[in-house]
């Protein structure tokens, strides 16, 4: 059992592994089909019907790969600092995950 204030490194590795494998179905499964949110450069994508096409063009579809450098958790918010490489953007990136258990309610990229 996790102690309050800690988070599972496997959870972070699992998310990164899903992205690095380009597994669209598994990536979408982390989000609620109706209310899951991705915020990328101020643009908001809600639900699988919006997150899927965004990912197809700019995330998994751009052959995105992430390597985590550091991660922290405060409450239900996990922040991961990593290196992102894709056809759309390459460089340091911060991923902020707002979680409800194992599910992502919001992902902020930037």
**Residue 52 belongs to domain with CATH number:** 3.10.450.50
Which parts of the chain sit beneath pLDDT 50? 1-7
- Domain-located, residue 64: yes
The confidence score (pLDDT) of residue 18 equals 83
The confidence score (pLDDT) of residue 11 equals 60
Residue 60 class from Cβ within 10 Å (0-12 exposed, 13-18 middle, 19+ buried)? Answer: buried
- Domain-located, residue 1: no
Number of domains in the chain: 1
Contact 54, 42 (CB under 8 A): no
What domain range includes position 61?
9-109
């Amino acid at each position: 059992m996790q102690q309050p204030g800690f988070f599972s490194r496997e959870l972070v590795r699992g998310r990164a592994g899903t992205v690095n494998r380009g597994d669209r179905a598994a990536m979408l499964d982390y989000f609620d089909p109706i209310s899951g949110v991705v915020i990328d450069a101020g643009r908001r994508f809600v639900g699988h019907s919006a997150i899927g096409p965004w990912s197809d063009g700019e995330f998994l579809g751009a052959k995105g790969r992430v390597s985590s450098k550091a991660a922290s958790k405060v409450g239900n918010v996990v922040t991961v600092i990593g290196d992102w490489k894709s056809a759309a953007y390459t460089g340091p990136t911060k991923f902020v995950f707002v979680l409800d258990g194992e599910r992502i309610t919001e992902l902020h990229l930037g």
